[in-house]
Amino acid sequence: MPDNTRIMTTLRHSPARHRVVALAYDGLCTFEFGVAVEIFGLPRPELGDNWYTFAVAAVDEGELRATGGIRIMTEGGLELLAQADTIVVPGWRGANTTVPPALCAALHDAWQRGCRIISICSGVFVLAAAGLLNGRKATTHWRYTTMLREAYPAVVVLEDALYYDEGNVMTSAGSAAGIDLCLHVVREDFGIEVANNVARRLVVQPHRDGSQTQQLSRPVARTRESQRLGQLFDFLHLHLAEHHTVASLAQQTGMSPRTFLRRFEESTGTTPARWLLQARLRRAEELLIHSPMRIELIAAQSGFATAASLRHHFQQQRGVSPAAYRKKHSVPAK
């Protein structure tokens, strides 16, 4: 069971009543819209009173038709964007469909005042049309990368990433990658424990590194192998400080090293070494936030051989030193 006391402590020091506004429009992509509603709009009383407030802003007037024959009525229009701390743009109604100038202007105004704007799948075309991605890196579903590059040559298009964080502008690939990005946002706002709690409710992997590949050769693992890998992930989270090799992990799952490597990459989109690195960095982040331990002890408990190794990987992967990360994100003592 999650440690609700620690979760509540984190939330008490989180930004109060952060307002998320999701766009709705005629021709709405329901899955991507549902991701925003599920993660940001669903009440979570177990996480305290500081959870997000949520609203839906209509891009078009009147009743909106969504994919699957659904019809939507909202309580507000683009004026809601002026009140948003985060704006979510679901998959747009067509990569070649014109984005209304009023929407572009509202998004640009929100971005200029520091609002965070994120897109899911083809929603990236809305951000690009608003000029928010000029000179910046962005990703989208692999089907649209060529179209995005040709339509907006000022955008640095990432061919094969799940999501990309450019600060207050974030983009994600296909529908499931939108879940990864939204959990990344929760992790940024409320910390690792809360994001993991939300992921458990969704029954999804707590964290997939944004640089993982979009196209997996076999996204769904065989049932027995999936169970073995699930047990392995649980084992690794409990033993991150220990030394692991491909041979030892393969033995843990009852597979040959060759089969293990293939199944692991098919299931996660990454290698065991990269998965372990990211898991250890997340453990280090958690300790930096919640523990007064010295860097040397944090390095040891999170699986890095030395403090120098932790500093090297933290700087390389997170772009800051562990000390700077602690100063920015640590929870103040009560």
CATH at 173? 3.40.50.880
My answer on whether 65 and 130 are in the same domain is: yes
pLDDT at 258 over 80: yes
My answer on whether 170 and 236 are in the same domain is: no
My answer on whether 17 and 162 are in the same domain is: yes
Q: Which of 202, 237, 257 delimits the end of a domain?
A: 202
| 207 belongs to a structural domain | no
Q: How many domains does the chain have?
A: 3
Q: Which of 269, 288, 307 delimits the end of a domain?
A: 269
Q: Which two tokens stand for residue 143?
A: 């089907």
Q: What is the pLDDT of residues 175-230, one digit of tens each?
A: 788 998 999 899 889 887 788 888 888 767 655 554 554 443 333 334 445 567 87
State the pLDDT at residue 207: 55
Q: Please give the residue that has the higher pLDDT: either 196 or 165.
A: 165
Instruction: Pick the closest to residue 189 from 3, 20, 24, 315 (CA basis).
Output: 20
Q: Please give the residue that has the higher pLDDT: either 100 or 209.
A: 100
| 209 belongs to a structural domain | no
My answer on whether 173 and 264 are in the same domain is: no
What is the residue range of 243's domain?
223-269
pLDDT at 293 over 70: yes
Q: What is the pLDDT of residues 133-148, one digit of tens each?
A: 999 999 999 889 999 9
My answer on whether 82 and 187 are in the same domain is: yes
| 288 belongs to a structural domain | yes
The Cα–Cα gap between 28 and 45 comes to 29
Q: Please give the residue that has the higher pLDDT: either 191 or 25.
A: 25
| 208 belongs to a structural domain | no
My answer on whether 192 and 51 are in the same domain is: yes
My answer on whether 98 and 157 are in the same domain is: yes
Look up residue 46 and give its DSSP letter.
Answer: G
303 alpha carbon, distance to own chain's centre: 24
| 130 belongs to a structural domain | yes
| 29 belongs to a structural domain | yes
The Cα–Cα gap between 261 and 248 comes to 12
- Average pLDDT score over residue span 88-106: 93
| 217 belongs to a structural domain | no
My answer on whether 126 and 47 are in the same domain is: yes
- Structure pTM? 0.65
| 213 belongs to a structural domain | no
